[in-house]
Structure 1
Amino acid sequence: MSLPEEFDIIVCGGGSCGCVVAGRLANLDHNLKVLLIEAGESNLNNPWVFRPGIYPKNMKLDSKTASFYESRPSKWLAGRKAVVPAAHILGGGSSINFLMYTRASASDYDDFQAKGWTTEELLPLMKKHETYQRACHNKEVHGFEGPIKVSFGNYCYPIKDDFLRATESQGIPTVDDLQDLHTGHGAEHWLKWINRDTGRRSDSAHAYIHATRAVHSNLYLACNTKVDKVIIEDGRAVGVQTVPTKPLHPSQVKPRIFKARKQIVVSSGTLSSPLVLQRSGIGDPEKLKAVGVEPKVDLPGVGLNFQDHYLTFSVFRAKPETESFDDFVRGVPDVQKKVFDEWALKGTGPLATNGIEAGVKIRPTKEELEEFKTWPTPHFNDGWESYFKNKPDKPVMHYSVIAGWFGDHMLMPPGNFFTMFHFLEYPFSRGSTHIKSPDPYATPDFDTGFMNDERDMAPMVWGYIKSRETARRMDAYAGEVQNMHPFFDYDSPARAHDMDLETTKRYALPGNLSAGLQHGSWSVFLPEADRKPGADILNSNQAHIREDLKYSKKDIEAVEEWVKRHVESTWHSLGTCSMAPREGNSIVKHGVLDERLNVHGVKGLKVADLSICPDNVGCNTYSTALLIGEKAAMLVAEDLGYSGDALQMKVPDYHAPGETRLPFRV
């Protein structure tokens, strides 16, 4: 369908947030013409999107559904360049993320220091987007009529109970709802962004865009179209210039301009929204002149304050009888056929989950904080006193168990595995991004800032140690995959113990687990002749490790070095168009947006995506992106003069063509 030249509202970016904005506003008034522009392809009924268990495919470097931003080399990462992925498909991260349902802490939004953005004010919008498909004892904080579905998925790997038993033994309480906005320390059975009735991923494009376009004609969609810049005339945003996403030849680069009568919303994501503004002449005037862009609005904060959550993986051997998705990922034909067939028939089975069944949010004890002071990089405690101590709803670290290894099995030994992934919820480090030319296809000057604040090191080390102790207490545990752990000295009690598959089969059996050694390690993983005298062999159903591993200063240095060499993005980027006064506040030095998401100094232009967050949020960020989308839609509607019932902006339900599957019930 050929697109008109002029619209009432243009939304630049069809990610998790942009889809909410465009879908809600198209349903605000069906006489409004709304255009949604997306650089990636459409995700409409794409089976590689809506089948939940397929998500690892989208993380590969040859993925067509993600873009990969490469940073400068960093001394904080042992000289490495960080690579930060961003979604490149309609629906954004909601189409390809890990599907983990987590929500921010109440103090997170209060800390934004923006009028209208307290958690109490935002709670109705949090409830507005979700349908909570499980038994609920906190109905005042969850929604039950929204377009986005939340459930446990339609399958659960048994390792969930193993993990929760182990965390309980560490003193981490299992709670019914870790996403109640207030609990900052606990473990839970993890919920997912999956529709319980169909087994499908619940992404924002199907929920807000495809559902609307199926019944209304006022929402226009331009996929495979890249936003170059916003056109500003006399201080007002009046249009958007676009180019093809990936032209085969320079002669194919034919810019097109779409005019906006009422409002332009930039929702291109944390890594692209600041670049769109900078190419439009909005940013630091000196930097813009240096790269050949005429400055129009002096906003030096554009592209600053980049934040993420810092992630590491550690992989463990699992006993042969442990159920995992490893054979499916390896491509075992019989296993794959069985899994695909079950999902196609009933919407259940391993494809109806992400394999991430349980996890924790944790805060350190007084004893652990004292221990941090003795470590080689001891500075976290200053941050604890200023940021965490008086906000008990803020977790410091998150870690979860994954029922297998979803990376490249060509790099792994044979056998079954389970993975711990750990990320820092509120890093103190900050980065930046800036264009190097007006060329919309050029890569930016990008510095992730990962780990450039030494206060971030101790909790990353602690997260590895804590999750490793959980793993050692699990029935599934059969040693570590050594190259996925720090390189400790050979004679260190903390050394990772790897085994070949035959040794695993030989020793990792019920009644053949070892504990109670003077070093706290498992002698069963040592050759018979090297075992310590008096090693205590315990039944796996009775006990596990009696004491934690002891880490020397040299061991902690090894973990720190491992963090530097392995830490990576959690795909949770935010902050580069921060909502704060132009001159900044106690959170950021320079703000970009006011509390109504208007770009300072420009009329008719808002930004709505995770880049608006001045400070971090302790969650997997899809929930925050949905919230920002709902808030932005309300703000635009109010600016246009709508009020009362119109602001409810209900979207139609989405039904896949030919969907005849009976609803699944628990």
Structure 2
Amino acid sequence: MSTLAPPHQIHTEYDLVFAGGGTAACIIASRLAVAFPDLSILVLERGPTTESKMEHIQPGRFLTHLAPESKTMQFYTSTPSEHVAGRSVVVPAGRCIGGGSSVNFMVYNRPSASDFDAWEKEFGNAGWSANDMIPMLQKAETYEIDPNKSTHGSDGPLKVSFGRDEMLDIGRQYLEIGPKLDKNRPRSDEGNGLNEESINVFFQCPKWSSTDGCRSDVAHHYIYNKNLENLSVFDGCLVDRIVIKDGVATGLEYIFDTRVYESAPQDIRSVKALKLVVVSAGAMGSPPILERSGLGKKEILEKAGISVVNDLSGVGANYQDHAFYISPYIADPDSITFDLLFRGDPETWRIAREKWEKDRSGLLSTNIVDSCIKMRPLPHELDELGPEFMDYWNEVLANKPDRPLFWHTISPGLPADQSALPPLKFMSSASILGYPASRGHIHVVSKDPYAVPDFHAGYLSNPADVSALRWAYKKGRELTRRMPAFRGAFAPAHPQFAADSPAALTETRPVPVDAPNIVYSAEDDKAIDANIRQMVQTTWHSLGTCAMKPLPQGGVVDSKLNVHGVQNLKVADLSIPPSNVNSNTYSTAVAIGEKAAMIIAEELGCTL
């Protein structure tokens, strides 16, 4: 036994014990702690605390969490794949109290009603339809833009607004040019109504931040702002496995994580759960905990040297993300963008800090997405996507008119490491697939909780995804080349078109709105496809790896979030969606958290 002092004094038993302290866990634990003051609740989070830290309060610091040395993110590197030009893709996941809500880009983007309806109708999950889940979204938010607007909330803990300042010029240009270029896609004041009217309209994009310029994360709005004596939330606690006896989950074993507490003792510690264990470590973190506990596919567990408790083939399978394809363009040097902030320019940071401290305005009060569209091909456009796209269209989108193909924006800056790039101002055409057809997996390779998992992202393994992003590139380019701030494409990051092709990247000034669209040849399409495979990356929207489906379909949990075949064990986080949602996943994680709190409360004898 180590003689080093542990960083926390944690009791040996609690009524409810959570493995993971991210978005869903904070919501569930807070709601239950308020509803049941006599219950003792423990949350063990692997990453650090976020309380009162500026990097989790000031919205404009979002990109700092993606730095290689970040302790608030866990970086998962996929196996190299021919589908992404032989690359490995790095997928970050929130690794701190509050999880993704504390580190994400704060883009307020909600699913379509048919996304939730599919969970109930197609996978047999009673109680998870849009009629059930929209109230969960409303319960969590205060929609400061218009609290009375349909489907939005008026008195929830999380604030939604347009931020402190008005849009930057690039966002305004996007909203002006888009409807002029494409008269079938007008401007609207609502792009998040969860209905068909929110599709194919240009709209100002709300943010998960308040009008006083602060991030709306769950840690500060569900946990830190409450004095809940029966709720204990500890950081730096890496859950090794669930203790299961005779088919019943009785507690957790954990160690203190050395990335948070370098000198902490490394002996395995245990805590009993008198009533319930909830695994809530996210789509990337929950499957390894289950597998180390003997819950997973038999062949995978045996190969890792783990005794099989229950053969659940769906654990770690069905991995999904929203493939992200970004094409950078050069912006007018007088444009206001985030690039100097991203490059760490001291003067830009000084001014931004002073503005935020003065009145919560400036670049640190906002994010990189001011305006956007959820784009769905119109009937006359389907031929543009190619025959390989039609099976996917007919299966996933054709009969669900509230589903877009992708979500698009042109952002004021290039949200990436710019250390090797010229000191330019950028405007980035970004497309995010709503329902990628490709799938991957994440599995443990040993009993060691620090071991790097076997992660296969699966990006672009289905050709329909390439077809969709090819069309998205063309749509985004037409919009960008008409915007007043446009000064040409940043050619190294674009498709390598032949010099004599009409698609060649020769323009350095904006063209008129009524200019003809670029015509692409078959060779041009091949160049775009090659670029897609070289450039596609994550949107940090991992989900689906412990799917809420019947056991014969590869399900891991049932509609009450119970793990199949184990008592007193639930999973509640973004690993449980059985199919994708066409939005940034924070809103879905919030809805899952509120729904899970309601389910558990009812089982404990109370209605929330």
TM range (shorter): over 0.9
Q: Which residue pairs with 2:99 in the alignment? A: 92
With 26-35 and 248-257 compared, the bigger mean Cα shift is at 248-257
Structure 1 residue matching 2:17: 3-state secondary structure: strand
The separation in 1 between residues aligned to 2:240 and 2:92, in whole angstroms, is 20
The sequence identity of aligned pairs, in percent, is: 40
- TM superposition shift of 1:334: 3.2
- The Cα offsets for residues 257-292 of structure 1, whole Å up to 9 and x where unpaired, read as 011111111000101101100100111123212211
1:639 and 2:603 correspond:
yes
**Partner of residue 559 from structure 1, selected from 518, 522, 528:** 528
- The Cα offsets for residues 354-399 of structure 1, whole Å up to 9 and x where unpaired, read as 03110110011233211222xxxx4111111121111110000111
2:490 is aligned with what amino acid? V
1:142 and 2:152 correspond:
yes
With 621-630 and 417-426 compared, the bigger mean Cα shift is at 417-426
The separation in 2 between residues aligned to 1:553 and 1:582, in whole angstroms, is 45
**Partner of residue 68 from structure 2, selected from 56, 61, 65:** 61
The separation in 2 between residues aligned to 1:150 and 1:180, in whole angstroms, is 14
The separation in 2 between residues aligned to 1:561 and 1:340, in whole angstroms, is 41
The separation in 2 between residues aligned to 1:483 and 1:93, in whole angstroms, is 31
- TM superposition shift of 1:410: 2.7
Q: Which residue pairs with 2:89 in the alignment? A: 82
1:488 and 2:497 correspond:
yes
Q: Which residue pairs with 2:284 in the alignment? A: 271
Aligned positions of 1:432-581 closer than 5 A: 432-497=441-506, 515=511, 543-544=512-513, 546-581=515-550
Check whether the contact 1:72–1:445 (CA below 8 A) recurs between aligned residues. Answer: yes
Aligned positions of 1:118-267 closer than 5 A: 118-135=129-146, 139-155=149-165, 156-168=167-179, 169-171=181-183, 172-182=185-195, 183-196=198-211, 198-212=212-226, 215-246=227-258, 252-267=265-280
Q: Which residue pairs with 2:348 in the alignment? A: 335
The separation in 1 between residues aligned to 2:341 and 2:98, in whole angstroms, is 26
How many residues get paired? 591
The separation in 1 between residues aligned to 2:590 and 2:83, in whole angstroms, is 33
Structure 2: tracts of 5 or more residues without a match: 1-7
The separation in 2 between residues aligned to 1:629 and 1:306, in whole angstroms, is 20
In angstroms, what is the RMSD of aligned CA positions?
Answer: 1.6
1:298 and 2:311 correspond:
yes
Q: Which residue pairs with 2:113 in the alignment? A: 106
Structure 2 residue matching 1:393: 3-state secondary structure: coil
The separation in 1 between residues aligned to 2:440 and 2:417, in whole angstroms, is 30
Q: Which residue pairs with 1:356 in the alignment? A: 369
Structure 2 residue matching 1:221: 3-state secondary structure: strand
The separation in 1 between residues aligned to 2:264 and 2:479, in whole angstroms, is 58
Aligned positions of 1:270-419 closer than 5 A: 270-373=283-386, 378-419=387-428
Check whether the contact 1:359–1:401 (CA below 8 A) recurs between aligned residues. Answer: yes
Does the C-alpha gap of structure 1 residues 370 and 495 become closer, same or farther in structure 2, counting only changes over 3 Å?
same
Does the C-alpha gap of structure 1 residues 580 and 550 become closer, same or farther in structure 2, counting only changes over 3 Å?
same
The separation in 2 between residues aligned to 1:383 and 1:307, in whole angstroms, is 16
- TM superposition shift of 1:82: 1.6
Structure 1 residue matching 2:62: 3-state secondary structure: helix
- TM superposition shift of 1:545: 5.2
The separation in 2 between residues aligned to 1:201 and 1:126, in whole angstroms, is 17
Check whether the contact 2:375–2:406 (CA below 8 A) recurs between aligned residues. Answer: yes
2:269 is aligned with what amino acid? R
Check whether the contact 1:170–1:470 (CA below 8 A) recurs between aligned residues. Answer: no
The separation in 1 between residues aligned to 2:389 and 2:96, in whole angstroms, is 38
Q: Which residue pairs with 2:559 in the alignment? A: 595
The separation in 2 between residues aligned to 1:573 and 1:331, in whole angstroms, is 28
Does the C-alpha gap of structure 1 residues 315 and 595 become closer, same or farther in structure 2, counting only changes over 3 Å?
same
1:467 is aligned with what amino acid? G
1:146 is aligned with what amino acid? G
Structure 2 residue matching 1:410: 3-state secondary structure: coil
- TM superposition shift of 1:407: 2.2
Q: Which residue pairs with 2:5 in the alignment? A: none
- The Cα offsets for residues 586-645 of structure 1, whole Å up to 9 and x where unpaired, read as xxxx111100000011111000001000000000000000000001111111111223xx
Structure 1 residue matching 2:89: 3-state secondary structure: strand
Q: What TM-score, normalized by structure 1, do the two folds share?
A: 0.86
Check whether the contact 2:164–2:361 (CA below 8 A) recurs between aligned residues. Answer: yes
- The Cα offsets for residues 555-585 of structure 1, whole Å up to 9 and x where unpaired, read as 110010011111111100000000011001x
The separation in 2 between residues aligned to 1:319 and 1:272, in whole angstroms, is 42
The separation in 2 between residues aligned to 1:385 and 1:175, in whole angstroms, is 28
Structure 1 residue matching 2:430: 3-state secondary structure: strand
Q: Which residue pairs with 2:78 in the alignment? A: 71
- The Cα offsets for residues 513-547 of structure 1, whole Å up to 9 and x where unpaired, read as 5x4xxxxxxxxxxxxxxxxxxxxxxxxxxx34511
Check whether the contact 2:49–2:96 (CA below 8 A) recurs between aligned residues. Answer: yes
- The Cα offsets for residues 41-78 of structure 1, whole Å up to 9 and x where unpaired, read as 00001101110011111112222211111111111111
Q: Which has the larger radius of gyration?
A: 1
Check whether the contact 2:413–2:425 (CA below 8 A) recurs between aligned residues. Answer: yes
With 103-112 and 545-554 compared, the bigger mean Cα shift is at 545-554
With 349-358 and 248-257 compared, the bigger mean Cα shift is at 248-257
Check whether the contact 2:257–2:264 (CA below 8 A) recurs between aligned residues. Answer: no
Structure 2 residue matching 1:611: 3-state secondary structure: coil
Q: Which residue pairs with 2:4 in the alignment? A: none
Structure 2 residue matching 1:556: 3-state secondary structure: helix
Structure 2 residue matching 1:131: 3-state secondary structure: strand
- TM superposition shift of 1:251: 9.4
